[in-house]
Amino acid sequence: MERKKYEKSLRIKEDYTLKKLGLALFSIVLLLSLLTACGNDDKEADKGKTDGKDTVEISLWLTPQWKGVIDSSEEGADFDSFFKYAAEKFSEQYDKHDVKVNVEVIAGDQRDEMLNVNLNGGTPPDIFFESVFAMGDYAHRGALAPLNDIVDDEAKQDIEQSFWDTVTFGEDIYFYPFSHMPGTLVYNADMFKAAGLEKYVGSADAIQTWTLDEYETILKELKANTPEDKYSNAYPMGLYALNNQGDTWNLAYLRMFGSPFFDDEGNIVLADEKGTKAAAWLKDMYDEGLTNPGAESVSSNDVNAMFQNQQLGVSFTNSVLYNNIKADMASGNVPEFDARLANIPSESGDPLSFTYVTGASIFDTGDKTRMEVSKDFVKFFSSDPELVKASKNGVPVRKSVVEEFKGENPLFAAYEANSQYMFSFTGNVPGYNELRQVLYPELQALYTGEKSPEEAVKDYQKKGNNVIEKAKEDSVIYNK
Partner 1 sequence: MLKRKNKLKQEKFDITANVIVLFFAILSLFPLYWLVTSSFKNSAAVVKMPPDWFPKTFNFQNYIDVFSNQPALKWAMNSVIVSLVATVALIIVSSLAAYAFSKLQFKGKNVIFIIFISSLMVPKEVMIVPLYRIVDQLGMVNSLHGMIWPNVATAFGVFLLKGFFDSIPDSLRESAKMDGASEFRTFFKIMLPIVKPGIGALFILYFVQVWNDYVWQLVIGQEEGVKTLMVGTATLMQDLNPNFAYKMAGATVAAIPMLVIFLFFQRYFTRGISIGAEKG
The residue ranges that bind partner 1 (CB under 8 A) are 11, 14-15, 18, 21-22, 25, 28-29, 32-33, 35-37, 39-40, 43, 61, 63-64, 76-78, 102, 104-110, 113-114, 117-118, 120-123, 233, 301-302, 304-306, 308-309, 311, 318, 320-321, 324-325, 328, 333-335
CB of 328 to partner 1, least distance (A): 7
Beta-carbon contacts of residue 142 (< 8 Å; ≥ 6 apart):
364, 476
Question: Minimal distance in Å, beta carbon 45 to partner 1?
Answer: 14
Q: Which CB, 11 or 96, lies closer to partner 1?
A: 11
Number of Cβ within a 10 Å radius of residue 196: 13
CB-based contact 398:164 (threshold 8 Å): no
Q: How many Å separate Cα 150 from the centre of its chain? A: 24
Specify the residue, 99 or 268, whose C-beta has the smaller distance to partner 1.
99
Task: Pick between residue 62 and residue 139 the one whose CB is nearest to partner 1.
Answer: 62
Could you give the CA distance from residue 374 to residue 371 in angstroms, rounded to a whole number?
Answer: 5
CB nearer to partner 1: pick between 46 and 263: 46
DSSP string, 9-71: HHHHHHHHHHHHHHHHHHHHHHHHHHHHHHTTTHHHHT-SEETTEEEEEEEEEE----SSSS-
Closest to partner 1 by CB, 268 vs 312, is 312
Nearest distance in Å: CB 183, partner 1: 11
Do you know the residue count of the chain? 480
User: Least Å distance between CB 90 and partner 1?
Assistant: 20
Min CB(315)–partner 1 separation in Å: 12
3-state secondary structure of 284: helix
Shortest distance in whole angstroms from residue 349 CB to partner 1: 29
The set of residues, in sequence order, having a beta carbon less than 8 Å from that of 304 and lying 6+ positions away, is: 238, 315, 316, 317, 321
Q: Least CB distance from residue 82 to partner 1, whole Å?
A: 14
Task: Give SS3 for 456.
Answer: helix
**132-140 and 432-448 are packed helices; what angle lies between their axes, rounded to 10 degrees?**
120
Q: Smallest distance, Å, CB 40 to partner 1?
A: 5
Angle at 470 between CA 464 and CA 471, to 5 degrees: 90
| 175 vs 210 by CB, closer to partner 1 | 175
Indicate if the alpha-carbon torsion angle 221, 190, 250, 168 is positive or negative. negative
**Residue 94, Cβ neighbours under 10 Å: how many?**
17
Nearer to partner 1 (CB atom), residue 19 or residue 53: 19
Half-sphere exposure of 382 (CA within 13 A, CB side): 28
Minimum distance of partner 1 from residue 204's CB (angstroms): 20
Q: Is the Cβ of residue 43 or residue 193 nearer to partner 1 in the bound state?
A: 43
Nearer to partner 1, 28 or 224 (CB): 28
- Distance between CA 341 and CA 345 in Å, rounded? 12
